[in-house]
């Protein structure tokens, strides 16, 4: 029996590895629907960068279930980051189109949904590249397929960065307001959400005029969404 051509063996090997990786990644995402993550790729990256630069880092993070997060905080991140969260399937194509238009005018505008940010923060790395964006899209599809919206929001609130070394809303609430995430007021929730676009530059504990203006805008958007009753649309 003649041996298979070398290129066919290579292609078969590549296909086997690719299918194995897809199955393993899908299994990992499926498990995380039920099992709370104990860290995130972004947290690991920050630890690594701090070690490389020989700069001390105290990483503050504590998982907290969605039921123990103030509803105003849950609403604030939707109002701030992704107002179409309840209805899209991982990607907000209208925002993506607007972002491309603004980039052509020389202005940068984010268009990532909460689902995309969970995919990026949990599994990937901060640096921008088309390769990373492709993986982000892949994990976003898996997350949207395998998790309910409330689980996506719960994980996002627990792994989002709110300052250098401060991850998750429980750590942020205790660091900046000396209270639990369940006790956050509407104004405090809007203030925390206001720093999410650039948590290392924007500060919740010493808010600039820009952060205060974002806080007011987010509060208005929370009202425009119908208040915490909007969270029922995630069911």
Q: Per-residue confidence at 105, pLDDT binned at 50, 70, 90?
A: low
b/e map 222-231, b = 16+ CB within 10 Å: beebeeeebb
Tokens 């949990």 correspond to: 122
Tens digit of pLDDT for each residue in 14-56? 888 888 899 999 999 999 999 999 999 999 999 999 888 888 8
* Residue 8 burial (10 A CB sphere; 0-12, 13-18, 19+): exposed
pLDDT (0 to 100) of residue 104: 56
For residue 7, pLDDT over 80 is answered with no
Q: Please give the order of strands across the beta sheet that includes 60-61.
A: 60-61, 166-167, 161-163
- Percent of the chain whose predicted confidence (pLDDT) is above 70: 91
Tens digit of pLDDT for each residue in 139-173? 999 999 999 999 999 999 999 999 999 999 999 99
The CA–CA distances, whole Å, from 153 to 82, 104, 143, 147 equal 11, 32, 11, 10
Mean model confidence pLDDT for the chain: 91
For residue 68, pLDDT over 50 is answered with yes
- Percent of the chain whose predicted confidence (pLDDT) is above 90: 74
Q: Per-residue confidence at 101, pLDDT binned at 50, 70, 90?
A: low
Q: Alpha-carbon distance 152 to 62, whole Å? A: 17
Q: Which domains does the chain have, with CATH numbers?
A: 38-50+61-230 (1.10.3810.10)
The radius of gyration computed from the CA coordinates of the chain, to the nearest angstrom, equals 20
Looking from the CA of 60 toward its CB, the CA atoms found within 13 Å total 14
Average pLDDT over residues 168-183: 98
Tens digit of pLDDT for each residue in 80-99? 999 999 999 988 877 766 65
Instruction: Supply the pTM of this predicted model.
Output: 0.90
Q: Alpha-carbon distance 231 to 86, whole Å? A: 8
Q: Alpha-carbon distance 37 to 102, whole Å? A: 36
For residue 206, pLDDT over 70 is answered with yes
Q: Alpha-carbon distance 131 to 18, whole Å? A: 15
Strand residues in the chain grouped as ranges (E): 60-61, 161-163, 166-167
pLDDT (0 to 100) of residue 107: 47
The secondary element (H helix, E strand) that includes residue 77 is helix 71-81
């Amino acid at each position: 029996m003649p041996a298979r051509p070398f290129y066919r063996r290579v292609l078969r090997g590549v296909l086997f590895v690719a299918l194995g990786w897809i199955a393993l990644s899908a299994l990992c995402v499926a498990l995380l629907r039920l099992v709370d993550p104990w860290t995130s790729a972004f947290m690991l990256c920050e630890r690594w960068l701090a070690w490389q630069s020989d700069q001390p880092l105290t990483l503050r993070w504590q998982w907290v279930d969605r039921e123990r997060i103030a509803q105003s905080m849950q609403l604030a991140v939707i109002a701030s980051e992704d107002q179409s969260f309840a209805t899209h399937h991982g990607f907000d194509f209208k925002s993506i189109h607007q972002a491309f238009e603004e980039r052509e005018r020389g202005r940068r505008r984010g268009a990532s949904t909460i689902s995309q940010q969970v995919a990026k923060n949990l599994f990937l790395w901060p640096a921008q590249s088309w390769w990373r964006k492709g993986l982000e899209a892949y994990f976003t599809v898996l997350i949207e397929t395998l998790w309910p919206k409330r689980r996506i929001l719960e994980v996002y609130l627990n792994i989002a960065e709110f300052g250098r070394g401060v991850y998750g809303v429980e750590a942020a609430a205790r660091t900046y307001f000396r209270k639990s995430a369940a006790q956050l007021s509407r104004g405090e929730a809007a203030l925390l959400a206001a720093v999410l676009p650039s948590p290392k530059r924007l500060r919740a504990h010493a808010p600039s005029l820009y952060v205060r203006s974002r806080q007011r805008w987010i509060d208005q958007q929370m009202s425009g969404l119908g208040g915490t009753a909007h969270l029922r649309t995630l069911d």
